[in-house]
Amino acid sequence: MPEGGDRDPLNLTGVWNGNYSYPRGFGDTHFVATLIEAGSHVTGTTHEPNSFEPSTTLLATVSGRRDGQQVSFTKICQNGGVVYGSPIEYEGMLSGDGTEIEGRWVIRGHWSGKFLMIRSGNRQAVAEEKKAERV
């Protein structure tokens, strides 16, 4: 535990707003992730629009780990049927201030792309400023 009992600023516990992109110009998808980190293990859930049925929301579970600033997790959709049946592997780097995770996602043998997750809450203003700098 950090000195003085303060929470580790890199701990992933919290709500994250994310965006991932598909290859070949298929567009971006926004999602919300709720993560809980205990030790180095990370679990949680995500929800996002269903690209193939826009009136429905995809729900998924997340399980992985954080090692320093390296983050990796597997996302498994719970209600996506055959279209969303494959596990999705995410690997990224957590920023030094713990406000964002940036990296790549892969569905082995099929697709891959980039993702960015920005922590909600009291760090939102800092994260929005960083995002604006990249545009």
- pLDDT at position 131 is 52
pLDDT reported for residue 50: 86
CATH class of 3-134: mainly beta
pLDDT in tens, the chain (135 residues): 444 445 788 999 999 999 999 887 777 899 999 999 999 999 999 999 987 787 889 999 999 999 999 999 999 999 877 667 889 999 999 999 999 999 999 998 888 999 999 998 754 444 455 555 555
Instruction: Provide the 10 A C-beta neighbour count for residue 110.
Output: 8
pLDDT of residue 23: 81
Per-residue pLDDT at 124:
47
Output the pLDDT for position 2.
42
Distances in whole angstroms, Cα of residue 117 to Cα of each of 23, 78, 83: 18, 21, 24
State residue 121's pLDDT score. 74
**Model pLDDT, residue 88:** 94
Scan for tokens 């990224």, then name that residue: 92
